[in-house]
A = this chain, B = another copy of it.
Amino acid sequence: MGGTMDGTKQQRRGNTRQRIQDVALELFAEQGYEKTSLREIAERLDVTKAALYYHFKTKEEIIVSLFEDLTQPIQDLIEWGRQQPHTLETKREIIRRYSDALDGAAPLFRFMQENQATVRELRIGDTFKSRMTGLRDIIIDPESSLTDQVRCISALFTLHAGMFVMQDMESDPEERRKAVLEVAIDLVTQADRGSRGH
């Protein structure tokens, strides 16, 4: 395992791009975007900075590529949601699937959550915002009371908080995940109940 000739350099068959993405995401999530320098990424990979530029035109392009690669499931979810009837069961399913999607790209979402100021100024900022708005519009009934609308948004943010903020709670991660999901579903359920007359 390792190189075919010697062990000095790891296998480098054409997976460098992927390796850059992996290391970059790890560092971005750990220390933030601005505090992570290209030098640092390059050193971890044992290549030169210039090698990064062979694979990505700018530093921003690295995070953009990660965003595009990893948020596809959410985009799919939104499209699916738009074609469903706006029933309570649909909303619940959206919450469940969104929870899964967050889980599937946890480091990226941790990064987005913790670097909002940065993200806002990056190209992905608008894209992300419009996705969140898309999601919101599916689970919110525009006719409902403001309170119920807030409940729906709160449901989404409970999922986010569940991933990153509640990590220091002493409890089994899997159980916590279930509890978070339950609270979120509860919120959209209450919102729906209010919206449909009493």
Q: Are B153 and A165 in contact (CB under 8 A)?
A: yes
Q: Are B154 and A161 in contact (CB under 8 A)?
A: yes
| A108, chain B: closest CB distance, angstroms | 13
In the docked arrangement, what's the CA distance between A52 and B121, Å? 26
| A62, chain B: closest CB distance, angstroms | 16
Interface locus among A6-14, A82-90, A91-99, A110-118: A110-118
A147 at the interface (CB under 8 A from B): yes
In the docked arrangement, what's the CA distance between A176 and B147, Å? 8
Main SS at interface, chain A = helix
Chain B neighbourhood of A117, CB < 8 A: 31-33, 35, 111, 114-115
Interface pairs (27), CB distance under 8 Å: A31-B117, A32-B118, A33-B117, A34-B34, A35-B118, A111-B117, A115-B115, A116-B116, A133-B168, A146-B175, A147-B179, A149-B169, A149-B179, A150-B158, A150-B162, A150-B166, A150-B176, A151-B183, A153-B161, A153-B165, A154-B158, A154-B161, A154-B183, A154-B187, A157-B158, A157-B165, A183-B187
Q: Which residues of A contact B (CB under 8 A)?
A: 31-35, 111, 113-118, 120-121, 133, 145-147, 149-151, 153-154, 157-158, 160-162, 165-166, 168-169, 171, 175-176, 179-180, 182-183, 187
